[in-house]
Amino acid sequence: MTEVMDPGAAKQASATAERAVNQTLMMARDLASVLARTAKALEQSATLAEEHAERRERAGRKEAAAEERRAAGRAHEAAARARAQAEEWLKLLEGGES
């Protein structure tokens, strides 16, 4: 015997699913925004580390300058990862909103 779903229950399930999809899209947008802002902050940190490295180099502190350059490199890498993740979320959003 085949059971038929109550039309009211089907409407309620559909509305609940739509709310869940909309909430997920909103959270994905927020996450992409946070990741983009994080990438920007990391790039600024890398720039500051590079400036510190130059000052330390001019002051003759080669080891300290090298450490600052390594920190700048790590910040650039982290920024690139954050930017790539933000772009991935935005691509997923484009597919989910069409």
Per-residue CA distances from 58 to 12, 17, 35, 46 (Å):
69, 61, 35, 18
pLDDT tens string for the chain (98 positions)?
Answer: 567 667 788 788 888 889 998 998 999 999 999 999 999 999 999 999 999 999 999 999 999 999 999 999 999 999 999 999 999 999 988 886 65
HEC assignment per residue over 4-69? CCCHHHHHHHHHHHHHHHHHHHHHHHHHHHHHHHHHHHHHHHHHHHHHHHHHHHHCCCHHHHHHHH
pTM for this one? 0.77
**Cα separation of 15 and 31, whole Å?**
24
